[in-house]
């Protein structure tokens, strides 16, 4: 379990740290006006990555405040020797290249992966497989795009298999129906993605994480990471304790 990562989520809207219930912008819960301070808090607890989402861009809204916040987050991450995984509204190869050039360690692609899979392959070839993540956001196994507002007929496992064949190695699997519910991530779906993506794939589960058992079960399932948002902000999961529990279990 030494390679297993816990990714604290910092979802940005209007430059603030918020959470949306299952991606619904009408159900927003604000947690902090200071994203950089929030990032510092998680990094001091031991996180090595931050999962940052540009909700405004994902929803097609003005994201200038989030762009400014990202600059601060990158500075804080650099202080701690940590990395930023950045997604939300990155819908062109040019946009992906821009953010990677700005210091983001990994860019997360959702809509682009569905619409232009070859563009993802080209980015992987240019930047390396571990700097590009494919976001598989699914409801009943089918991919949703455009900030989860548009359903497609594309199966998450089919898209994962296709993109793995094109060189993609990092996949973030979210069951939309579990996001914000505390029911735990959909490990069956994540493991199905891992099975079709192959042994070189790095699969990260997201959506529904609420307690320590959810984190440990994700690691025990053979996945490589978990994204945690609401549970950290509402205190049902202690990040430092979770990281220690993973370390302890890895020593057994």
Residue 44 CA to residue 40 CA, distance in Å, equals 6
pLDDT in tens, 54-108: 999 988 999 999 999 999 999 999 999 999 999 999 999 999 999 999 999 999 9
Query: What integer pLDDT is reported at residue 46 of this predicted model?
Result: 98
For this structure, is 137 an active site residue? Answer: yes
Helix intervals (H) in the chain: 35-44, 55-58, 64-80, 93-101, 111-115, 117-127, 156-165, 187-197, 212-220, 230-234, 239-251
pLDDT in tens, 134-170: 999 999 999 998 877 889 999 999 999 999 999 999 9
**Domains of the chain listed by start with CATH number:** 5-251 (3.20.20.70)
Options 56, 137, 175, 179, the catalytic residue = 137
Of 6-15, 22-31, 94-103, 240-249, the one with minimum mean pLDDT is 22-31
DSSP SS3 for 111: helix
Select from 246, 116, 136, 142 the least CA-distant residue to 202: 136
pLDDT in tens, 164-191: 999 999 999 999 999 878 899 999 999 9
């Amino acid at each position: 379990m030494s390679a297993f990562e816990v990714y604290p989520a910092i979802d940005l809207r209007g430059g603030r740290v918020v959470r949306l219930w299952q991606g619904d912008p009408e159900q927003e819960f604000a947690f902090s006006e200071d994203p950089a301070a929030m990032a510092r808090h998680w990094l001091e607890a031991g996180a090595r990555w931050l999962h940052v989402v540009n909700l405004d861009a994902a929803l097609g809204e003005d994201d200038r405040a989030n762009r400014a916040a990202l600059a601060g987050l990158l500075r804080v991450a650099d202080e701690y020797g940590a990395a930023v995984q950045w997604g939300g509204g990155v819908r062109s190869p040019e946009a992906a290249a821009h953010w990677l050039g700005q210091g983001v360690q990994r860019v997360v692609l959702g809509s682009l992966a569905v619409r232009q899979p070859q563009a993802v392959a080209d980015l992987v070839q240019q930047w390396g497989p571990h700097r590009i993540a494919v976001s598989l956001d699914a409801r009943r196994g089918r991919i949703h795009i455009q900030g989860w507002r548009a359903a497609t007929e594309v199966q998450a496992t089919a898209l994962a298999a296709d993109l793995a064949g094109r060189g993609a190695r990092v996949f973030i699997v979210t069951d939309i129906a579990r996001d914000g519910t505390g029911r735990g991530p959909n490990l069956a779906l994540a493991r199905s993605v891992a099975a079709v993506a192959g042994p070189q794939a790095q699969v990260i589960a997201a959506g529904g994480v609420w307690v320590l058992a959810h984190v440990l079960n994700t690691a025990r399932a053979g996945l490589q990471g978990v994204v945690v948002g609401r549970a950290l902000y509402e205190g049902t999961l202690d990040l430092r304790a979770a990281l220690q529990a993973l370390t302890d279990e890895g020593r057994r």
